[in-house]
Structure 1
Amino acid sequence: MAAANSLATAFLGAAAAAAAAKAEPFRANRPSKSTASPAFSFRVCQRGVAFVGSRRGAVRRSPRCEVQVDIKEKAAASISAIEQFKISADRYMKERSSIAVIGLSVHTAPVEMREKLAVPEAQWPRAVGDLCGLNHIEEAAVLSTCNRMEIYVVALSWHRGIREVTEWMSKASGIPVSELRQHLFMLRDGDATRHLFEVSAGLDSLVLGEGQILAQVKQVVRVGQVSGGLGKNIDRMFKDAITTGKRVRSETNIASGAVSVSSAAVELALMKLPKPHCGSARMLVIGAGKMGKLVIKHLAAKGCKKVVVVNRSVERVEAIREELKDIEIIYRPFSQMHSCAAEADVVFTNTASETPLFLKEHVQVLPTVSEDVGGVRLFVDISVPRNVGSCVASHEHARVYNVDDLKEVVEANKEDRLRKAMEAQTIITQELKRFEAWRDSLETVPTIKNLRSYADRIRASELEKCLQKVGEDALTKKMRKAIDELSTGIVNKLLHGPLQHLRCDGNDSRTLDETLENMHALNRMFNLHTDQKAILEQKIKAKLGKTQG
């Protein structure tokens, strides 16, 4: 039934948007731009009525004639909109909205593709707004990290919703849909929820059990709360995913001994340096965010005594310096990045820059590093989008490693963490059942509202008939109030039992099954589906009438 409400909202929203901006075409079939000013007419689509441009030719019409034609077209469109609603409403009211995840990760796509689809955190609200504006999408959330770009949605229609999100991703990245589909994974309902719970628990990470992803899942909720972009299903799912991630880490110790992306980057760099000179290699870290801080921390743990840090502001570097006392941290402003690289043997990059910081022409002018450390400068880039252009790898005195190259490091202690991952699945299954029970319990909410509305309309109608028979002058204001309270009290007492049998918190599966049976029975007895459909139809007619007026 939630789908039916969204369907009606879509109809009303489309009509309102059409009245506000007649030149806006239906987004699923946008006509080509034209410098001419076309006339506009209604067109009926799956979820509403939209204005579309249509050339009328060179024939001139008087303003009066155009008004008459426009009125006829709008009237015909109104009838068509209602008929379209009647055809599709039954199916949407019976069909439950689907939770879906569409995305790609380090397991399905190379970094070259992931960086094109990456959405910076500052742009998450806008992306969610765009996604929720799609015809069959009710709710949305974006989880974009260095290892994944995943879109979680609640879709009115699984197939149409997936198609719209895929087309949005194609448009945002510039990657053709045919190419994009080769790397995307798509999961539905329970599978989609389980995937998010596994992501939050660190089971889907490149580094099994790593903890940073849990913080990133939390950030999705924080951003959604500030922007107001998360709907109740997505919000609850992400919060339950956070609970799952915490339980897995505290009850299985999957993170003990596990390496993070940052520590794996340090391990990789040390693997590539000649063993005798690892301690003397000059280290440069560009970016002092969370990843940069972890890189410095792991360098210190490996015995590094000095590191140069390039960052846009000094405050973050000073905070890291206060926390990490065992390593000398030298701050340099961003303007000195290339001169600092000239004096470094290993360059770690981890900034949010959407364009490369190092290209081949930058590296060509850098002096060659000492043969003691291998004669080549190492660039370890753990950013997505990448901070080091792929062209740098062709330089004879440079080696470039990105997040996809970390697999060499993480395979070392993967077997032990896989055993712990099996334990984590038990917790994930428990939390998944709890979430699905909660979502099932939501099905009764529309029935509760419809039953209450149905009873209130009958009460109001019968009360009005009674007052008409008695006569307005026969009753005092106090008597009228007493009769109104009497009728309200009778309705409340009659509804108390049925409504109690429709309320369930979703924690008890037996009670939930009984509640859903009661819901279906009441829907049949009082014909609440038809009742709801009639109400929505009246609202659509009224809205279309206003847009024509």
Structure 2
Amino acid sequence: MAAAAASGFVNSIALSESKLGVDIAVSLLGFNHFSSSNHLSSSSSSSSSLACFPSRTRFLSNVLKVNRGRKSLNPRCEAVEGIGSRPSPLSALELLKTSAADRYTKESSSLMVIGINFRTTPIEIREKLSIPEAQWPQAISELCGLNHIDEAAVLSTCNRMEIYVVALSQHRGVKEVIEWMSKRSGVPVSELCEHRFLLYNKDATRHLFEVSSGLDSLVLGEGQILAQVRQVVKSGEGDPGFGRKISGLFKHAITAGKRVRTETSISTGSVSVSSAAVDLAQVKLPQFSYATARVLVVGAGKMGKLVIKHLIAKGCTKMVVVNRTEDKVAAIREEFRDVEIIYRSLEEMYTCASEADVIFTCTASDEPLFLKKHVQMLPPVSSNVGGHRLFIDISVPRNVGSCVSDVDTAHVYNVDDLKEVVAATKEDRLQKALEAQSIIWEEVTKFEAWKDSLETVPTIKKLRAYAERIRAAELDKCMSKMGDNMSKSQKKAIYDLSMGIINKLLHGPMEHLRCSGTDNRPLGEILDNMHALNRIFSLDTEISVLEEKIRSKMGKGQK
């Protein structure tokens, strides 16, 4: 019985010790799924609960191993053993805090995209999440202010809103970006998670290259998206948050998009969202009335100009264009001199709408321009055009409120309604899209090789700095021994000699650290060379680059 009692006492100590370790780990990692009364009520229940969190389970397992390896973490054990210098629970807590920090700061960075598009998300949510081009720099700044986001870019169009980031910690980065998107848009996190897509590293790269090539567009092969990707680069240049990896990604995407359009026929006869909108109007109007329908275009920006261009291509010879200023309309009028293009100001918009049968809206307004109360006041249209006024809204956020659909004399269509028009020409371009995939794969391979080669950049810099310190020190020794009677040309000759020796010695190692994606050396070999040089010359630092970045960000956030 004495043995049994002793065994029970030892087991209770071990249980208390393990429980303390888990309690601390739970508090550090934020486990809300455990109650304080049943952390380790039985081995089976704890293991089944922890199975839901595999990565955290490994951490807790390490915590328990640490606990078992110590003399004691339990005050009662310390009293029994009577040890004078005993580790306190506070020191154990500090130990575990350090362990938790080390665990995630030593993760490798991830390139990822978190987004929504016309395939995953209805326009009602897309318009809330859309970010106007003028706000992209601010969005990049806010994203890079998050603890685990190092670089960022925003691609927001009428069909998509995608956030590209380099995350210092993959899982925490995703969480922070989604919470940022929710806070900015007012869309709950739970609803966002229902619609968002998430891609990492090579998959994220391939996705952007397909987007830039027009393969992921509502209108397969459209050309406007390439200009929008270019605009991301233009607006991000000079922004520290639009860093080396993200800017390189988007520049490679432009190259991929240009190659696909040059080397395949995917863009031949393809349509844009604007031309699809014009085609939709043609489908919805009675065939005999298309040539005589009165047309109003609200907005003379990029989308508006394309609408006008495609209207003219379909035979429209007269239209009214409403815009804030006349400059853009005058430029369009100069380009299409054979067409009667009448400019009207925004103040005249409702008057113009009352005289129109078909209204195209394509502005960057954050608020609807047409609401139910506005449309109800408009006079009815002629029965020659079907008795309904057509509103074709290709703006995101929408320029025509959804409430307008309740008006009997109006029919409202938005970008999501263009699918029926696009489907007619999609099959022909699917085969062309297959041709484009091989080009995209080549460009993805090149970009991944370039991106992976960036891992060796810190080693290259440290190796050169190491060699430079030795060269400078030895040169100083030499100069001091030579005395002050040396001429400038002699000093220069000795300096050039030292630089020449260093450069020739470093040439071989540097070549074996660089990866252009065109040589035959596999990336694994280059990374092995990097690790070997780090060991040989003791170039590794005690704190990883990622850890330094995360600690710095978190430190700024606490100030």
> Which TM class, normalised by the smaller chain length?
0.7 to 0.9
2:448 to 426, 436, 440: 436
Unaligned runs of 5+ in 2: 1-29, 31-92
Aligned with 1:219: secondary structure? Answer: helix
Distance 1:81 1:422, change over 3 A: farther
CA contact (8 A) 1:306 1:327 kept: yes
CA contact (8 A) 1:197 1:244 kept: yes
Deviation, structure 1 residue 495: 3.9
1:245-256, aligned counterparts within 5 Å? Answer: 245-256=257-268
1:301-316, aligned counterparts within 5 Å? Answer: 301-316=313-328
Deviation readout 1:134-157 (Å, 9 max, x if unpaired): 111111100000000001111111
CA contact (8 A) 1:437 1:509 kept: no
Q: Distance in 2 between the 1:271 and 1:214 partners?
A: 28
Q: Distance in 1 between the 2:217 and 2:152 partners?
A: 22
Q: Distance in 2 between the 1:453 and 1:520 partners?
A: 17
1:285 to 297, 318, 325: 297
Deviation, structure 1 residue 406: 0.3
Q: Distance in 2 between the 1:152 and 1:526 partners?
A: 36
Deviation readout 1:217-253 (Å, 9 max, x if unpaired): 0111111115454211111111111111111111111
Q: Distance in 1 between the 2:485 and 2:544 partners?
A: 37
Task: Tell whether 2:234 aligns with 1:215.
Answer: no
Cross-structure match for 1:40? none
Cross-structure match for 1:352? 364
Deviation readout 1:227-283 (Å, 9 max, x if unpaired): 454211111111111111111111111011111111111111111111111111110
Cross-structure match for 1:427? 439
Name which of structure 1's ranges 196-205 and 267-276 shifts more when overlaid on structure 2. Answer: 267-276
Q: What code does the residue aligned with 2:165 have?
A: V
Q: Distance in 2 between the 1:500 and 1:432 partners?
A: 23
Cross-structure match for 1:374? 386
1:389-428, aligned counterparts within 5 Å? Answer: 389-428=401-440
Cross-structure match for 1:232? 244
1:529 to 530, 537, 540: 540
CA contact (8 A) 2:278 2:307 kept: yes
Deviation, structure 1 residue 323: 1.1
Unaligned runs of 5+ in 1: 1-28, 30-79
CA contact (8 A) 1:383 1:403 kept: yes
Task: Tell whether 2:514 aligns with 1:503.
Answer: yes
Q: Distance in 1 between the 2:214 and 2:249 partners?
A: 16
Cross-structure match for 2:179? 167
CA contact (8 A) 2:150 2:241 kept: no
Distance 1:280 1:174, change over 3 A: same
Q: Distance in 1 between the 2:517 and 2:121 partners?
A: 38
1:108-147, aligned counterparts within 5 Å? Answer: 108-147=120-159
Aligned with 1:529: secondary structure? Answer: coil
Distance 1:250 1:82, change over 3 A: farther
Cross-structure match for 2:59? none
Across the two proteins, how many residue pairs are aligned to each other? 457
Cross-structure match for 1:514? 525
Deviation, structure 1 residue 498: 2.5
CA contact (8 A) 2:445 2:517 kept: no
1:181 to 193, 198, 201: 193
Cross-structure match for 1:35? none
Deviation, structure 1 residue 513: 4.3
Q: Distance in 2 between the 1:250 and 1:492 partners?
A: 42
Distance 1:82 1:350, change over 3 A: farther
Distance 1:402 1:91, change over 3 A: closer
1:99-114, aligned counterparts within 5 Å? Answer: 99-114=111-126
1:385 to 393, 397, 404: 397
CA contact (8 A) 1:102 1:185 kept: yes
Aligned with 1:505: secondary structure? Answer: coil
Q: Distance in 2 between the 1:417 and 1:517 partners?
A: 44
Q: What code does the residue aligned with 2:287 have?
A: K
Q: Distance in 2 between the 1:499 and 1:513 partners?
A: 16
CA contact (8 A) 2:104 2:169 kept: no
Q: What code does the residue aligned with 1:336 have?
A: E
Cross-structure match for 1:74? none
Cross-structure match for 1:151? 163
Deviation, structure 1 residue 452: 2.9
Deviation readout 1:333-362 (Å, 9 max, x if unpaired): 111000000000111000000000000010
Q: Distance in 2 between the 1:418 and 1:438 partners?
A: 30
Q: Distance in 2 between the 1:532 and 1:483 partners?
A: 40
Q: Distance in 2 between the 1:82 and 1:127 partners?
A: 37
Distance 1:417 1:476, change over 3 A: same
**TM-score relative to the length of structure 1:** 0.77
Distance 1:456 1:272, change over 3 A: same
Bigger-Rg structure (1/2)? 2
Q: Distance in 2 between the 1:335 and 1:174 partners?
A: 31
Aligned with 1:152: secondary structure? Answer: strand
Distance 1:488 1:323, change over 3 A: closer
**TM-score relative to the length of structure 2:** 0.75
Q: Distance in 2 between the 1:478 and 1:442 partners?
A: 46
Q: Distance in 1 between the 2:469 and 2:543 partners?
A: 13
Distance 1:153 1:401, change over 3 A: same
Q: Distance in 1 between the 2:348 and 2:121 partners?
A: 34
CA RMSD of aligned residues (A): 3.2
